[in-house]
Structure 1
C-alpha cells in the first residue's frame, strides 16, 4: 500500500544536530592529535541518537578513522556481559587484524574473556585483581591499537548495559591517557529512573573533567518540516507539518511514524496512544510477518536468522517473504554484519513484546530454548550459555532453568563478569526449591563452583580432611559460597555480607567446622572492605574452628590470612608461627598460591625479627618462582613487599632495581593496583637515594594510578616529606592531610599510622607548634612500637628528638623537655638495630638527645657520620655532617675549623643539589657566623697540592672517580677494584655529593677540568 514510502520511513536528509555533530567532530580532531576523548550522548527514545552516531561514524571513516560499533544486548530483559565491548573489539579485529594481534601479544588468554577469537581464556582461581587486570589490559590494548590509527569506539544503548560493561566503561574513561581514541556511548535519558543502575554511573562520570555530555533535544517545527519532506520526497503542506509537529512533539521517530501513517490516508482514525502509534504499522503487516515480528521481539535485541528459522518453523520461502514485508515496512532491519534481524527501533520492539500474552511469552521463550539446546551453534559461543539461561528462565521451567542458569554463572565467572555471576547465582537460589529433587541430584559442585573447599579438593583427587567425605551433589551452601565471593569481587560487599550471614546460620545445624571457618574468613574480608572493623574477630573465630583439624586448604588459608593480618597490625612471634604453619599446611595440600603468599609473609616477618638474610632469601625465591609461573597476583605482591622490606633495611639501590622490574611486569600483566603500590615504594627508595625529582614523579604516579587508598596515602606521604625537606611547609601540610584522609580511622595499621605521626610531628615543628608535636609524640609512645616497625619508628623518634634539639634555646620549650627526652630514650632502648641503617639511626637519635641537653660532642657526631657514610643516603649524610660541623665549631681550633669547612661545603653542595632549602640556608648561616668560605679560594694552587685532596676525596673514592671518568659502570668498577657493585654505588654517591654534581657525566667533567688523572690512566682496560 505504501509503495516507495515503505523504504523511506527514515529521511535521507540528515536534519539539524549541527551543534552536536560539531562537538563530535571536535572530539575526533582532538583524538587525532593524540588526546583520547570520551563522550556520552543522551536523549529520549526516538530522538535520533542512533542516526547521529551513524552520521558521525560515516564522517569519521571518510577522515581515515577506524570505527568499531558495539551495542548493549538485551535478552529477555537480561544484559549480556561485556556485549558491546566484545562486538566492538570483534569489529576492530576485522579492520586491523595485525595491529590488534600485536597489541594483544602475550595477554591473549586474559583478553579472550572479552574476545574469544584470541584464544582460550586462562582457568584458575579468581581474585580481587582479576577484573581490574582484565580492564587494564583492555585499556592498554586500545591505547596500543590507537597509537597509529584513529579509532572510534561507539557503544550504543547503555541503558541496557550489564554491570560489568558499566564498570569497564568507567575504567576506560578514568584511565585512558594516550592514543588516538574516541569512546562514544549512547543511552536513553527518559529510561533512567531513580533506581536505574546507570544513574550512579552518570553521576560519577559527570564529576570527571575528561568526559563530555551531549544531550539531544527534540526537533523544532522547521526541523520537523525538513524531516517530513525528506521522508515524503516532496514539500509537505504547512497544516500537515503543524499536525505532525503537534502530535510528535518533535520526537524524530514519532515524526517518521506519523508521516508514513498520514501518507497511507487510511490512518486518520489513529488515536494519540503511544502504543497504538507504535503498533499500527505492525498490525498492517500480513499475519505471518506479524508472527515473525513477535518472535524477534522476544528473542532479544538481535536474533540470528538460523535461530529465527528454527523457532518460527515456517517454510524458508514463507519466512523470507514475512521478513521482507517487515523490512519493507520499516519494522525490522538486517542486523549489522548481516547475520540476523532486529527491530529498526527498540520502541516498536518493546511495544510488540508488551502486547504478547503471558502464556504466549513463555511459549516463545521455550521454543527459543529448545531450538538452542538442539543446535547450540545457532548463536555465537560466547552468548550461548547466557541466552539459554534467559530463555529457560522466562519459559518458567525450573527443571531446565536451574542447570542453565548455573552454567551461565560459570561462563560469567570465566569472563570476570562477577556482577552478572552474582545475579545468576541469586536466580539459581530463587529456582532451587522449585526445581525437582531429581534435577538437583544431578548437579555436581565441581561443574558449577570454584571457590569452595570441597570441589577444589575433589579436583585435586582427594577429600578435605576434617569434614567427612567429599560431596558429589551440589548444595545450597555451595551456591551461597560462590555468591559471597562473586559479591566481594564485584564490589557488592553488603549483599555478600548478608549471604555469609545466611550461610553461617544454616551451618549452625551442621557439624562442619571447615565450611564455617571458610565463611568466617570471607566475612573478615568483607568487614574490612566495608570499613566496619579490622576483621580480626572473624579471623580469630575461623582459627578456633580449624584448631585441631588435619591439614586442609581451608586450614592453610585461615593461617595465611591470620599471619598476613598480624604482619600488618601486630607483627611478632605469633604472626611468625602462623606464617610458618600456613606454609607447611599449604605445601602439604598442594595449595601453591596460598603457599607463595604465606612465604612472602613469612619472609617479611623474619626480616622484622632480625633474620634478615634468611627472610630476604625466602622472598627472593618466591619472586623468582611466581615470575617463572606467571602467577599474576603473587607477582604483583612479591614486587611490592620484597622491595619494601629491602628499603626498610636500608638496601635502597637493590629495592629500586626490583621495583623497576616490577613496573615492567605489572604493566605487562595489567596489575594496575600493584603498579600503583610499586610507584609509591619507588618514591620512598628514591628519596633515600637523593633522587628527589624522580621520587616526586613516582609519588605522583602512585596517586594517579592507584585505585585504592594505600597508594594514594603512600604517594601523599612521600610528597609531604619532600615538601618539608625543601621548606614548603604549607604544601607539606596539604599532602599530610591527603595521606591522613586516604588511610582513614577504620583499620589502623602501624605502616600507615607511624608515617602519618612522623609527618604530623615534623609539620608541627616546622610551623613552630612544639606543643602539638609533643602531643602527637606522647600519643604515639603510649600506643607503642610493635615488633617489626623499626623502619617507621626510628625516623619518627629522630624527628621528635631533632625538634627538641632545634628548640633547645627557646625558653618556652624548657618546660616538659626532660619528660619528652626520657620518653624518646625509653623507646630507643626497646627498638632493635639488626640492620646497619637502624643502628645508624640509633646513634643519630642519641646524638640529637645529647644535643637537646646541651652536651653534644664532635666524637658523638663523628660516630654518626661514620655510620651513615656507607649507606648511600646523601640527604641523611648531609644532615649529620652539618651537625658535626656545628659541634666542631664550638670552641674549635684551626684543625677543627678546616674540618668543619669541608663538612659544610659538602653539606651545602648536596642540599643545594637536592633543593633542600632549610638545610642549605642553615649551612650558609653557620658558615657565615663562623666566617668560613663555602667555596674553595680561587687562584693557582701550590705546586705540591693534589686537587683530589681539596675535594675531600679518600684514596678509594679517587680510584672510583678515575673509573667513572673513564666511563665505566658500577659493575665494571666493582670488577676493577675487587669490590661489590653495591659498594661501588655507595662510593659513586659520596663522590657526587663531594663534588656537588648531579650525575656521573658532570663528575667526569670535573675530573677532566681539574686534571685529576693523566690521559693514559683513563684508557679503558680489558672487558670484564
Structure 2
C-alpha cells in the first residue's frame, strides 16, 4: 500500500495555514462536543463499534478537539491511529490517510506485520452473501479487486482491537481521494461489532453542492452507530477565555477586538491576537487563506463579492444588481456560485451576508484604491436614489469612503439625529464624532451643519454623557473651550463651563468642578434671569455643597430656584430642589423629592428625571427601607430604558442600587442577573457588574477570583471611581475572610480606606463596612494564635486588628462631626465592628453579636445570618450550648436558601465543634470514640500550647510518654504538626470542653 510519495505527503500534514506558535493552546467552549466524542470512545471500550463525523468550518477548532480526544484516549490505554488527508487537487494518492495511520503499526510490528494484514477471508474473494448485513445495505462495492484489500484493512484493525480498543482518527476528510472514501464506507459497516471507534473530521464550508463527499455522508449517517457532530462557532466568552489563555496580560481592548472580529473561530482568534500584539490589522497569512477560496470563483462571482464587501456585511439583491454591472442572468449565476461555495449566506429576509466578517475584510483589503472609491460612490448614489434602501449612517459611510466629505458630514449629522430619536446615545456619539472628524476638511462646515464647531462639541459631549462615557465627555468639553477661546460667545462659554463641571463632579474631581461653575457664573449676569445663568447657579450650588462651601451653595441654590420659577424652567427647578433636599435633609425629604420628580417629568429633561429617581432610591436605602429602594430603582431603570439613557450616570447608579438591594434582601439570583444583564457596560458603569461579586463570593463561586482580578485592574486604571473601588475591595476582603487570608484582607481594607479618605474626606462612612469585614479574618488569626500559644503572632494580629478598628471609629466620628447622624445600615456595621473588636481582644461577647444580628434585621438577610453564626459561636464559648442552637439553626437555614456555601460550611463546622445536632452538619462524634482518656487530657494541654515536658509535668508522666501520646494524636487526626492537630481537632468538635 505505501509508496514513497505517500510517505512524504502524509508527513506534511496539510493545515489551514501557519498558526501562531503558542506554548499551549487551551481547549475552551467544547465540553459538550468532547463529551459526545468520549461517549463514542466509551462504546468502543465496551466492545461496540461507533463512528462520529465531525463537521465544522475551517479554523473552528476541529483539530484541537481531536488532539484533546486522542490525548485522553491514549491516557485510557486505547491504541490511537491518526491519518490525515491532503489537498492534492483533482487526482490524489489512493488510500493516503490509511497509509498514514497504519504505517506506525507496520513499523512497530516489523516482520509480523504481514500476518496482521493478511486477508481474513481465505483464498477466495467474498461475495455479497459473505458480507455483514450493514455492508449489504450500502451501495454494492465494485468488484474491481479491492474487496480483499478492504477486508485486509478491516481485519487488521479488528486484530489490533483484540489487544486493546482502537480509536481511528481521520482528519480533513473533504480532501480524501475516492479510494479512501470507498474504504471508509466499507470499514464503518464492517467494524460495527468490533471495539473500534472512528472519528473523521471535514470542513462543512468546503462542501459545495457537487462535492464528492456529500453523497458518502448521506449514506454513512444512515448506518447504525454513526453520528454527526457539528462544531458551531465558539461563544464570545469562550473566545475571550482562549485569547487570555494564549497570552497573559492582553489589553482589554485587544481582547474585545479579537472576540468581535473572530466570530467564534478559534484559528481566526489566534491569528488576530498575534496580529494585534504585533500592531497589525488583518494578518497577511490570514488574508491569503481567506482569499484562496475567493480566487477559485468565476469572475462574475468575484465581482459580486467585491460589491457585497463594499456595501457592508449585509446587502440586498437590488443593490448588487444596481451596482454590480452584470446582466440578470450573469448576476443569478454569480450569486448562486457565491452561495453554493459557502462564501455568501442568504438570510431569512432574503438579504445576502458574508459567512464570516473576516472574509469581507479580506475582500476589501484586496481591492485597488480606485476600484474601492468607485464602488463606494456607486453604492452611495443608489442609496440616495432609493432612500428606503439604506440608512443615513450607511450613506455617511459610503460618501466618506468615496471622498464626498461634504455629503458625509451632512449624512453623519442626520444619522446622529436618527440615533438620538430612537434613544441610542452610543451610536449618536459615534456619528457626531465622525462629523467632528470631517469638520476641518469641509469648507463652510458650520453653514452645512447649522451650528458652530463648539456647539457640535457640546452636543457630542451630551451624547457621551448619556452613553456613560464621562471621561470622553470631559475631553470633548475641554476641546469646546479651546475652540471658543477667551473671546467666544459668553453664554456659550458659560454653558460649556457648567456642563463640564457636571461631568467632572461625576468622576470625583470636585475641586475642578467648582472652578468651572465659578467661571460660568462670572460670564453671565444674574439679572435679568436667563436659562444659562439659572443652570450655572444650579450647578454651582451642587459643586459648592460637595466641597463644604455651604454658604456659597445656599446662595447659588436660592438664586437658581427663584430664577427657575420666574422662567418656568421646571428641569432646573427640579435639579436645584434635589440638591437642597439632599444637602439640608430633615422631615418631608421624600415628599420634596416627589415634587421634584413631577416637575422633572413635566419638563421632559431625561437627565434630571433620572437624577431625582436615583435620589428617591438612595434616600430609601439610607433609611433602611430596602424594598422601597428596590421599587424606586426598578422604576428608574424602566424609565431610563424608555428614555434611551440606560448608561447615563444616574441610570447606572440606579442599576447598581438594584444589584445591591437584591443582594441585601436575599434575592441573590436576581442580583447577579441584573449585574450581568447587558453585554455592553461603559467603564464608568463597571461597578454595576462588580457589585455582583458579593453574590459570587458569598456562594463560593470559583470564578469570583478571576472577576475580582478584572475589577481590580479596572479600578486601578480609573483611580477616582469610588463605587468600583468599594465593590471590588468589599468582594476581595470577603473572599479573603472565607479563604483564611487575613493579610490580604488587612492590606485591601487599609488601601481602600486611604483612597476613600482622599476622595470623600469626612463622608467616608463606607470605610466601616470594609474594616468590619476585614476584621473577621484578622480576629480569626488572633484566635488561632491564642489557641496555639503563639505570642508573637497574637501580638501582631492584635495590633493589626486594632488599627482597623481605629480606621472605622475615626470614619464614624468624622461623619458625625461633618454630616450628622448615620443611618440604619451604618448602625449595623458599627455594631458588627464592636463585636469583631471584642473577639479580637479575646472576649466572648454574645450581647454584642446579638446586637449586630438585631441591627442587620433592617433587611440584610446575609449579614444577619453571619452575625447569628458568630453569636452562636460566642454562646458556645461561654458554655451556653443550648442557647446557641437557635441562632445557629437560623443561620444554617439562610445559608441554605441563599446557596451561601462558605457560610453553610462554617455553620456546620461550628455545630461539629460544639457537638450540636444540626441537620446537614454531620454526625456529632464523641471525643471518647476517637481518643483514650489520657490522649484527651494531652490534647487539652496541646490546645493550650504546652510542650511535651510541660504536659508530662502536669499529668505526672515522663516527657517520653507525653511524646508518644502526642504522636498518637497527630496520627489519628492526620496532622503534620501540633498546631495543625489542634486546628483539626477544633474543626471536628474533638477539643475537650472541660
> Which range, TM-score by smaller chain?
0.3 to 0.5
Normalising by the residue count of structure 2, what TM-score does the alignment of the two structures yield? 0.47
Normalising by the residue count of structure 1, what TM-score does the alignment of the two structures yield? 0.46
- Give the structure, 1 or 2, with the largest relative contact order (CA under 8 Å, sep 6 or more): 1
